[in-house]
Amino acid sequence: MTIPQSPPTPEHRAASVRAALARGDLLGAYDEVARRGSTDHHGLNYLEVLTLARLGDTERALRLYDDYGLAEVDDVDSLSLKARLLKDLAFQADGEPNHDRLMAACELYQAVHIRTHSSYPAINAASLALIAGQTELARRLAQEVAQETAPERRRGYFSLATLAEALVVLGDVAGARDALSRALQAEDADVGARSTTVLQLQRLVAAKSVAPGMESLLELVQPPRVAMFCGNIFVGGEALESKLAAEMSALIARENVGFAYGALAAGSDIVIAEQLIARGAELHVVLPFAEADFLEQSVAPAGEGWVARYHACKAAATEVTYASNMTYMGGMEQFAYGSKVTMGMARLRARQLHAEAIQLVIVEDRGDGTLSGSDVTAWRSTGGRAEVVAAPPLTRPVMPPPPPKLNVDRGDYGLMFTDYPGFSKLDERVLPLFWEEVMVRSAGILEAYGEVIRQGNTWGDAIFAVFGDAPTAAAAALDLCEGLAKVDCKRLGVREGTAMRIALHYGSTYSGYDPVTKRMNYYGSEVSKAARIEPVTPSGSVYVTEPFAAVLEMQSDHPFVCNYVGKIALPKNYGTFPLYRLSRAG
């Protein structure tokens, strides 16, 4: 008989969230705290807001901070969290941070310090004062922090990191380095703690508010790097693999890689993954399509030994995800799509940790001074640093024949579905008004993208559009969302604030002539996935899939932000998928 498991207590859930934050798993922390149901537990409410703050979703964190009444809780962490959110808002502006918001955060930190006598709000106020040009105030607060406890009596990461930051403000490079070095040796010097320290130092250095030489502290405290790994498939051999493994192991250690994303093809992928596991790195396996097809195409042809090693690596992985759940259709396009999504996922994780994303590669040396590899080219072309282990000529496996290729065009596209909540309940008499206010307005907004929209279609209140790339789809969706927010809800007879909900996905679809509409049409499982996301999207929001967010991250300097909203069950038993809310940067 199976004994039902009791739900975790709030205390156990809080401990789980804190553990996820400590190891830098911000998405896991949010998923855990979001599953709690009731919001009557202060500790979990605080952790949800803190997690959102670390994820960069400042505006939502501020709303929940007020909704949960955290300002009414008399503890230094809850009181300081509001100041931290105001500080983050100040740094969201393009270019220089917003001076008024800096000072508002600084003053709130000071008020919390006066109330609690804690050094945490004091050092934050000092750093903000220095960035805002209030040098005298900054030095006074920093001296108070530095003199609170003698350096030799300080223990624990946060106590020593606080001292280091105070010495940074005071211009003591050597003292700051010594305190920071000691902090990193503390038992609680986890990835999450280091990522918050490096962000604070980055802001101080960027504002040119610190003494020369402080930049060197950033490398000292930098969190472990995040890697995307890839390389050539090969049959292998003991001597070859030992050499490549040793070189890759040394490279992983030298680069301090703590997190890695990649597939597990025979040869390079598995050799790299095994070294990452041996190093204790957090491994995320991202398969380009259905696992059975991937094994048949990319693992089994090199020998059964590689299949066993594949399963061993998979068992040791923290997570196994799929760029797409579809079967293998033949050709290299699906592999390229999977690699692009994997690269973007690595960069998304690095952004969350304020760490550097790099690429680890084993690739055959051609002997002419150049290295083959489209993944390396794609990574470097978007500003990434690739660290390559050059392999001697490799024996490639005999690959199985691909499935018969259909004589139908396929391509990777940005897919948009929209819906207007409450449309089905509108009074018949206001439908013409809806058409003018919503659909005609939508057409006017999308007309600006007429040359790049590959297809557009409507069903009542719904719009389906296909774009050639993710950034264009993102821009069009936000334009649509903002434009339709101006619709007069009262005239339509819908709840105030009702607006279009928009879903975006990026994936491979068929395209072909539609004999019914007598025009080009786009269809396939990825289109169905995009359609399933729209019903769970809140009114007035744009939700995107993880592949869309990852592909967007592969565009240099895109003006968008993707904030994680959790793993959400899609309608019609389609499955549960991680989703993000799209907005404009700044």
Whole-model pTM: value is 0.92
Residue with tokens 């703590």: 258
Helix (H) or strand (E) holding 560: strand 560-570
pLDDT at 2: 54
Residue with tokens 């969290």: 81
CA distance 294 to 300: 9
CA 160 from centroid of its chain's CA atoms = 29
Cβ neighbours around 331 below 10 Å, total: 12
Write out the DSSP string of 419-435: E-TTGGGS-GGGHHHHI
Residues whose CB falls within 8 Å of the CB of residue 416, separated by 6 or more in sequence, listed in order: 463, 464, 465, 466, 467, 473, 476, 477, 502, 503, 504, 530
Residue 334 has which token pair?
């699906």
pLDDT at 117: 92
Tens-binned pLDDT, residue by residue, of the chain (586 aa): 455 667 789 999 999 999 999 999 999 999 999 998 888 899 999 999 999 999 999 999 999 999 999 999 889 999 999 999 999 999 987 678 999 999 999 999 999 999 999 999 999 999 999 999 999 999 999 999 999 887 788 889 999 999 999 999 999 999 999 999 999 999 999 999 999 999 999 999 888 888 888 889 998 999 999 999 999 999 988 999 999 999 999 999 999 999 999 999 999 999 999 999 999 999 999 999 999 999 999 999 999 999 999 999 999 999 999 999 999 988 888 999 999 999 999 999 999 999 999 999 999 877 544 445 789 999 999 999 999 999 999 999 988 887 877 778 888 999 999 988 877 777 888 888 888 888 888 888 888 887 777 777 776 678 889 999 999 999 999 999 998 888 887 888 788 778 889 999 999 998 888 888 778 888 999 999 999 999 999 988 999 999 999 999 998 778 999 999 999 999 988 889 999 999 998 7
Residue with tokens 């962490």: 77
Pairing of strands 257-262, 282-287: parallel
Sign, Cα dihedral of 447, 452, 455, 458: negative
Where does 443-549 show beta strands of DSSP type E?
453-459, 462-467, 501-514, 519-523, 542-545
Residue 234 has which token pair?
């090969």
Residue 476 has which token pair?
């069009």
CA distance 121 to 104: 13
Cβ neighbours around 547 below 10 Å, total: 29
* Helix (H/G/I), strand (E/B), else coil: 501: strand
* Helix (H/G/I), strand (E/B), else coil: 242: helix
pLDDT at 494: 80
CA distance 566 to 49: 14
CA distance 415 to 417: 7
**319-322 β-sheet, strand order:** 319-322, 282-287, 257-262, 225-231, 357-364, 385-391
* Helix (H/G/I), strand (E/B), else coil: 138: helix
Give the CA distances from residue 112 to residues 40, 75, 118, 359, in Å, rounded to whole numbers and listed in that order: 24, 9, 8, 43
